[in-house]
Amino acid sequence: MMHTELPNPIAAFFQAHNSGQTDNFLDLFAADAVVSDESHEYRGDAIKTWLDGAIANFHPLHGEVISLAPNGEHTVATARVSGTFPGSPVVLRYQFTLQGDKIAALSIAP
């Protein structure tokens, strides 16, 4: 378990990810934010639809951040993600680009 404090938008992202409580999920993102996951890009309302779909399909979906590292203008959170998908658990890299207290971009890759 990681003991480094996550930046607020990243902590809130994983809280929604793990709890399934996504009512205010889009508030975490800048208006022009983009999420890239599994060769797809999501913008606007599609970002919430993307997470809700993942939670519904792979419930319980849980991500535990195991490391956090700045990488230029990005912050990379490496997380062990488990759920009801083949190969669970997997380690994924969540590359966040923060804009103030908002997520401007998020790219997820193995």
- Give residue-wise pLDDT tens across range 9-60: 999 999 999 999 999 999 999 999 999 999 999 999 999 999 999 888 888 7
The enclosing domain of 41 has a CATH number of 3.10.450.50
The whole domain housing 49 covers: 30-109
For the chain, how many structural domains are there in total? Answer: 1
Domain assignment present for residue 45? The answer is: yes
Domain assignment present for residue 16? The answer is: no
Domain assignment present for residue 46? The answer is: yes
- Give residue-wise pLDDT tens across range 47-94: 999 999 988 888 878 999 999 999 889 999 999 999 999 999 999 999
Give the CA dihedral 94, 21, 2, 28, nearest 10 degrees.
50
Domain assignment present for residue 5? The answer is: no
Domain assignment present for residue 104? The answer is: yes
Domain assignment present for residue 9? The answer is: no
**Global pTM value:** 0.92
Query: Contact, 9 vs 102, CB < 8 A?
Result: yes
